Amino acid sequence: MEESRSFGFDTRQVHAGQRPDPNTGARAVPIFQTTSYVFEDPESAAAYFNLQEYGNTYSRIMNPTVAVFEERMANLENGCGAVAFASGIAAQAAALFTLLTPGDHVVSSSALYGGTVNQLKHLLRKMSVELTWVDPDDLDAWKAAVRPNTKAFYGETIGNPGGNVLDIEAVAAIAHAHRAPLLVDNTFATPYLCRPIDWGADIVLHSATKFIGGHGTSIGGIVVDSGQFDWSNGRYPVIADPSPAYHGLQFHETFGTYGYLMKLRAETLRDLGAAMSPFNAFLFLQGLETLSLRMARHVQNAAAIASYLESHDLASNVTYPGLGGSRYRSLVDKYLPRGTGAVFSFDCRGGRAAGQDFIRGVSLWSHLANVGDAKSLIIHPASTTHRQLNDEELRAAGVGPGTIRLSVGIEDPGDLIWDLDQGFARVAASAAAGVTSR
Amino acid sequence: MTPAFDLRRYQDPLTIQRVIHTAKTVAVVGLSSNPLRASYFVGFYLERHGYRVIPVNPRETEILGLRCYPRLADVPGHVDIVNVFRAPDALPGIAEEAVAIRAGTLWCQFTVINEQGARIAEAGGLTVVMDRCIKVEHARYVGRMHWLGFNTQRITSIRGGLQ
């Protein structure tokens, strides 16, 4: 018998989802590197495939190592469950694919990761789903964008890379007034800094590739469901009605709270196939064990570097929402009291050429297209991650021609600032010479 | 449809574990013969996990290959759990029947919420569990709910038995 206790976050990030292996007693999470599972007998096999019993059938659909990661993330986000995917983008596609049908409409924040902008813009159009971009800071814009066929609202807790902080509770209220779910990408905050479900979000998405894994080793994503949304409200026959892909099963009626996740796993993951590998799940679990420790250091370093940049002559428009003068101050106090993440941008004086000079000047920060590594990372979005966006979309995403995006790692902050000084010295030298290196 | 009374009184984890671990016989009131209904999933699951399942439904004679009884009063022998899949309004009457047959626990599934029904059963000496699914709770503490990434809320370093 287990007493009921509300365990702390730091305990749950180490333990949730795993109990010592009953067969071997292994304390670490075993890596179940197997495609498939031997059935006890024909009746058991039938029960698993009919979803009448929780059973393992095939690792494209479920895997015991991946399941530990799923449960741990669901636990940390205060959700009812989760389904992991091969990437954050796959998780997002699957989350939307499960609840949308052709002719539906989505309202989304325009201040998003460039990969998500591409996905929403092009993939939804291919699915004949309409899309309206809104300025996430403008609640009236969210309301004004609603149409009778609006079936989902989408935003990021902390926008990439503009640092917009989403008013989750207010946008969730707008979505719920229209009997639609709010999906929130919580990648930049992680559940340590913010838990969107606590503020009314219905579905939380992560690129686990970032701070969850935390060491830049593995690509992965996850969908966490609050279990609170009423999919039987008449607007989501795709989930509530008998499923032709599952012999007439009505996922929401039969599984209730767990209906959306069952459909996400048993149909969408089964049919799209972007499953997380057990080895990646193992690495993400290793990452989660130190999430709170790393995030505390990430935000401490990020705050130090943001204030250094804010006072530097060659830097402007530092988008770190944790700065004292940030226009998101009240939202930060409400949603992100432990810190505002470690990814933000600034504009290097001198525009595109200066931005590129700055990157040439640094030697400790790694020039690459990722965020959320223990190592500090740097990139020029206009020529890389946001390259497919036109000027208008760039502006909407908060990206200028000289914008530099930083992902602050957990190194010695003095060393990181020393290296940024090298970058600015390079910019100043080029400006003084009146030439720009090519 | 927020209930006016505190449901947590009927959702205590220790009580739920005790009921699941000690019960042998479960009468499922409102068990459907339709294999796609939630009640059928639950009845099938409970039988598979070794409980003696007794269907109670006046419109059927046999469900899951088991003899079906019209009312609780018709069920022979002791019933440990009366598991209810009926509309909340039907609960007071079912609670009275459960008291009359001296059942051990009145277990009301998700959304089967009725304060009067709970009070009748409690006054009659029954344990009450309400707005909880018996399949989910069994799978949480005994079964394999964690295999599909659901949040069991369990934290333990005790090595479990083979399942």
Measure the CA–CA gap between A362 and B60, rounded to whole angstroms.
Answer: 77
Residues from chain B that touch A258, judged by Cβ atoms under 8 A, are 136, 150
- Around Cβ A312, how many Cβ atoms within 10 Å? 17
Measure the CA–CA gap between A197 and A177, rounded to whole angstroms.
Answer: 17
Whether the upstream peptide bond of residue B55 has omega within 30° of 0, thus cis, is: no
The answer on pLDDT for A206 being more than 90 is: yes
Measure the CA–CA gap between B33 and B11, rounded to whole angstroms.
Answer: 28
Please judge whether B110 and A256 are an interchain contact, meaning their C-beta atoms are less than 8 angstroms apart.
yes
Q: What would the DSSP string read from start to end of A237-255?
A: HHHHSPBGGGTTB-HHHHH
Minimal Cβ distance to A254: which of B38, B162, B163: B38
Q: Is A225 helix (H, G, I), strand (E, B) or coil?
A: strand
The answer on pLDDT for A194 being more than 70 is: yes
Minimal Cβ distance to A67: which of B37, B139, B147: B147
| Region A223-248 average pLDDT | 93
The pLDDT confidence band at residue A433, using thresholds 50, 70 and 90, is: confident
Phi-psi region of B111 (alpha: psi -120 to 50; beta: other; left: phi over 0): left
- Please state the separation of Cα A20 from the chain's center in Å: 29
> To which residue do tokens 């393992």 refer?
A56
Residues from chain A that touch B142, judged by Cβ atoms under 8 A, are none
> To which residue do tokens 């530990």 refer?
A68
The answer on pLDDT for A42 being more than 80 is: yes
The answer on pLDDT for A413 being more than 80 is: yes
A64 touches chain B (CB under 8 A): yes
What pLDDT shows up at residue B161? 60
Nearest CA in chain B to A67: B149
- What residues contact residue B70 under an 8 Å CB cut-off, 6+ apart? B56, B57, B58
Structure tokens at A367: 């020039």
Q: How close A267 comes to chain B (CA, Å)?
A: 14
CB-based burial, A365-378: b 16+ in 10 Å, e otherwise: bbeeebbbbbbbbb
Choose from A254, A261, A264, A268 for mutation: most chain B CBs within 10 A: A254
Minimal Cβ distance to B133: which of A7, A19, A256: A256
Over residues A134-147, the pLDDT tens digits come to 999 999 999 999 99
CB-based burial, A112-129: b 16+ in 10 Å, e otherwise: bbbbbbbbbeebbeeeeb
The pLDDT confidence band at residue A253, using thresholds 50, 70 and 90, is: confident
Sort A247 into a burial class: Cβ within 10 Å, 0-12 / 13-18 / 19+.
exposed
Specify the domain boundaries for CATH 3.40.640.10 within chain A.
Answer: 11-287
How many angstroms separate the first and last alpha carbons of chain B? 38
DSSP label at A97? Answer: H
Q: Is B15 helix (H, G, I), strand (E, B) or coil?
A: helix
Over residues B120-135, the pLDDT tens digits come to 999 999 999 999 999 9
Q: Over chain A, what is the mean pLDDT?
A: 94
Sort B54 into a burial class: Cβ within 10 Å, 0-12 / 13-18 / 19+.
buried
Please judge whether A5 and B155 are an interchain contact, meaning their C-beta atoms are less than 8 angstroms apart.
yes
Phi (first) and psi of residue A381, to 5 degrees = -55, -40
Over residues B146-158, the pLDDT tens digits come to 999 999 999 999 9
Over residues A346-377, the pLDDT tens digits come to 999 988 889 889 999 999 999 999 999 999 99
Phi-psi region of A17 (alpha: psi -120 to 50; beta: other; left: phi over 0): left
Measure the CA–CA gap between A171 and B98, rounded to whole angstroms.
Answer: 46
Long-range contacts of A284-287 (CB under 8 A, 24+ apart): A284/A69, A284/A208, A284/A212, A284/A213, A284/A218, A284/A220, A285/A18, A285/A29, A285/A65, A285/A68, A285/A69, A285/A72, A287/A208, A287/A211, A287/A212, A287/A213, A287/A214, A287/A215
Fold of A291-433: Aspartate Aminotransferase, domain 1 (3.90.1150)
Q: Is A149 helix (H, G, I), strand (E, B) or coil?
A: coil
State the amino acid at position B110 in one-letter form.
Answer: F
Minimal Cβ distance to A55: which of B144, B154, B158: B144
Residue pair A171/A151 in contact by the 8 Å Cβ criterion: no
Specify the domain boundaries for CATH 3.90.1150.10 within chain A.
Answer: 291-433
| Region A236-254 average pLDDT | 90
Structure tokens at B51: 């409980």
Nearest CA in chain A to B140: A54
Among A182, A201, A181, smallest CA distance to A191 is for A201
What pLDDT shows up at residue A435? 60
Please judge whether B157 and A2 are an interchain contact, meaning their C-beta atoms are less than 8 angstroms apart.
no
CA atoms within 13 A on the CB side of A4: 11
Surface of B (75-94) touching A: CB under 8 A: none
- What residues contact residue B85 under an 8 Å CB cut-off, 6+ apart? B28, B29, B30, B31, B32, B38, B39, B42, B109, B112
Let me know if domain B8-148 sits in CATH 3.40.50.720. Answer: yes
| Region A229-249 average pLDDT | 92
Choose from B134, B150, B153, B163 for mutation: most chain A CBs within 10 A: B150
Please give the class, per CATH, of domain A11-287. Answer: alpha beta
Domain ranges of chain B: 8-148
The answer on pLDDT for B163 being more than 50 is: no
In sequence order, what E strands does A305-417 have? 315-316, 343-348, 366-367, 377-379, 403-407
Q: Name the least confident of A288-297, A300-309, A400-409.
A: A400-409
Please judge whether A67 and B148 are an interchain contact, meaning their C-beta atoms are less than 8 angstroms apart.
yes
Among B117, B30, B26, smallest CA distance to B70 is for B30
Residue pair A299/A329 in contact by the 8 Å Cβ criterion: no
Kindly tell me the sign of the dihedral angle through the C-alpha atoms of B84, B87, B91, B94. Answer: negative
Surface of A (223-262) touching B: CB under 8 A: 242, 247-250, 253-258, 261-262
Between A54 and A388, the more confident residue is A54
Minimal Cβ distance to B155: which of A15, A47, A53: A15
Instruction: Please count the residue pairs, one from chain A and one from chain B, whose beta carbons lie less than 8 angstroms apart.
Output: 120
Measure the CA–CA gap between A108 and A104, rounded to whole angstroms.
Answer: 13
Residues from chain A that touch B18, judged by Cβ atoms under 8 A, are 1
Q: How close B42 comes to chain A (CA, Å)?
A: 8
Measure the CA–CA gap between A398 and A160, rounded to whole angstroms.
Answer: 8
Minimal Cβ distance to B160: which of A16, A22, A56: A22
Q: How close A187 comes to chain B (CA, Å)?
A: 19
Choose from B42, B147, B158 for mutation: most chain A CBs within 10 A: B147
Alpha helices in A314-379 (DSSP H): 329-335, 351-361
Phi (first) and psi of residue A372, to 5 degrees = 80, 25
Nearest CA in chain B to A256: B110
Over residues B14-37, the pLDDT tens digits come to 999 999 999 999 999 999 999 999
B41 touches chain A (CB under 8 A): yes
